[in-house]
Structure 1
Amino acid sequence: MIDKPRGKLPARRAGGFVKPAPRRPGLPPEGPILLYGLHTVEAAFQNPDRRRHKLFATENALRRLEERGIRPDVPVEILAPRALDRMVTRDAVHQGVVLEADALPAYGVDELKGARLVLALDQVTDPHNVGAILRSAVALAADAVVTTERHAPEEGPVLAKAASGALDMIRHVRVKNMARFLVEMGEQGFFRVALDSDGEASLEQTPFGDKTVLVLGSEGKGVRQGVRAACDRLARLDMPGRIRSLNVSNAAVLALYVARQRMSL
């Protein structure tokens, strides 16, 4: 039997947890969330902004965390893999560790002071895509990833697992209005480039400023008209092969790489 953790967790039922009630879009999770997976939990322990409460782990997974230099600073409960299975959603790959922790603080535009390369996602809703983009943004040394409060995944186990630790390595800023945010960034000296198939030039041929915001839109709709109007340039990703378009997470990798080359970062 799992000890009752502090804070609010999903209600109990025989043999595990029930699915929590839906939350209103744009609001942070109410009470602690459950993070799982070795990379995700490791990064959460290394992030001073992450408030942690309790670790549930198998003996083997706890040993693997310790081999990675993680010394848990919270109570630890050793559980069998099946008990952990009941704590997470079906088919979730927890790798023997589940961490009860608070959601990260609500980062705002003040967190972008000193930033040079920012990636903005206009209504990209799939948590797996956003998680993959967060991981690529960390790998390519972007300073922040910006999403909207609505029509974007809230922080939670699926997003955190898809990001494989990156959620705790980069500022994830949420804004109410993407177009207004881009106007404000322009006033702060950022050059704003939106990826669009009808862009006047390829991204490689597009000039970049010392500070740049790259904007990517949702699959299908792309960047919305009002958001495009708030940008300085529209640029396209030219594909030399027979497939002319990419998944948004793959497009983000290429765009960040090109931006770093153009900005000499």
Structure 2
Amino acid sequence: MSEEWITGKNPVLETLKSGRSVNKLLVLETMKQQAQQQLIQAAKQQNVQVQKVPKQKLDAIGSHHQGVAASVAAYDYADLDDLFAKAEAKSEAPFFILLDQLEDPHNLGSIMRTADAVGAHGIVIPKRRSVQLTQTVAKASTGAIEHIPVVRVTNMNQTIEELKQNGVWVVGTDASAEEDYRHAAYDMPIALVVGSEGQGMSRLVAKNCDWFVKLPMKGQVTSLNASVSASILMYEVLRKRDQVGE
């Protein structure tokens, strides 16, 4: 398995707290003492070697390192069974996010961050024509990559069929849909489909959705950023499942 570098204080701290295997930690030798000690203490708790290095060493790894970088093994992908197991362990109806050919690593990282916040049980991405788990994704997720399992599948449509066979309802988004996303029920096992930034859902994936919801658009812009749309939908699922006094 190839090596990856995680950079930035919060992503590195989340990586250390998650218990993931970290090969070594590089810390800027001129970093403020308090921040340096926090990182070193977290590394010691996981028996991770710490090296104090000059800025040039960190600059060679990445430009937005914030004075720290952790060397880790490349990210492992989960299996679909892992997502169901996570939902079962929490005694919750499965709540998955299916990303159909998403290409922007910052969008994936942002979606992972929201997925963790709302308690989603995992994300599914295709192996081809899709962003994969990278350092850029990890950075954008601000540590959520350590907590949200990601499944990489060869055929998204076959995966949708498998989800349906396991009682999961697949919900897509379409501007021409009749149902407003705020009126839909989400208390059953749900997989939300988010399409690519430019083309939306592919024709076959759309064909396999059980139903569609729309996000109302009252302005002049005809669509929202993929991660924004996904966040709105995910929080609506949370709102419907965990209502606080109406």
Q: TM-score, normalised by structure 1?
A: 0.81
**C-alpha spacing 1:160/1:65, structure 2 compared with 1 (3 Å):** farther
Pair 1:199-2:177 in alignment? yes
Superposed displacement of residue 234, structure 1: 1.3
Match of 1:133 among 103, 106, 111: 111
Which position in structure 1 is the counterpart of 2:43? Answer: 71
Which position in structure 2 is the counterpart of 1:10? Answer: none
Superposed displacement of residue 160, structure 1: 0.9
More helix by share: 2
Q: Which runs of 5+ in 2 are unaligned?
A: 88-93
- Tell me, yes or no, if the aligned pair for 1:191 and 1:208 is still in contact at 8 Å: no
- Tell me, yes or no, if the aligned pair for 2:97 and 2:120 is still in contact at 8 Å: yes
RMSD: 1.9
Correspondence 1:8-19 to 2 at 5 A: none
Superposed displacement of residue 192, structure 1: 0.9
State the SS of the aligned residue for 1:142.
coil
Match of 2:142 among 147, 158, 164: 164
- Percent identity for Structure 1 against Structure 2: 29
Aligned letter for 1:31? Answer: S
Superposed displacement of residue 65, structure 1: 5.7
Match of 1:45 among 2, 16, 39: 16
| Worse overlay, 103-112 or 210-219 | 103-112
Superposed displacement of residue 213, structure 1: 0.4
Match of 1:149 among 104, 111, 127: 127
Pair 1:80-2:54 in alignment? yes
Which position in structure 1 is the counterpart of 2:69? Answer: 98
- Tell me, yes or no, if the aligned pair for 1:129 and 1:249 is still in contact at 8 Å: yes
Q: Which runs of 5+ in 1 are unaligned?
A: 1-29
The whole-number CA distance in structure 2 between the counterparts of 1:61 and 1:54 is: 20
Aligned letter for 1:131? Answer: G
The whole-number CA distance in structure 2 between the counterparts of 1:61 and 1:131 is: 28
Superposed displacement of residue 232, structure 1: 0.6
- Tell me, yes or no, if the aligned pair for 2:27 and 2:36 is still in contact at 8 Å: no
The whole-number CA distance in structure 2 between the counterparts of 1:264 and 1:98 is: 37
Aligned letter for 2:50? Answer: V
Q: TM-score, normalised by structure 2?
A: 0.87
- Tell me, yes or no, if the aligned pair for 2:25 and 2:43 is still in contact at 8 Å: no
Q: Deviations over 1:129-157 (max 9, x none)?
A: 11111111111221111111112222221
Which position in structure 2 is the counterpart of 1:58? Answer: 28
Pair 1:31-2:31 in alignment? no
- Tell me, yes or no, if the aligned pair for 2:43 and 2:50 is still in contact at 8 Å: no
Aligned letter for 2:48? Answer: V
Q: Deviations over 1:170-192 (max 9, x none)?
A: 11111111111111111111111
Aligned residues: 232
Superposed displacement of residue 61, structure 1: 6.5
Aligned letter for 2:81? Answer: D
State the SS of the aligned residue for 2:216.
coil
Moved runs in structure 1, 4+ residues, more than 6 A?
none
The whole-number CA distance in structure 2 between the counterparts of 1:132 and 1:34 is: 19
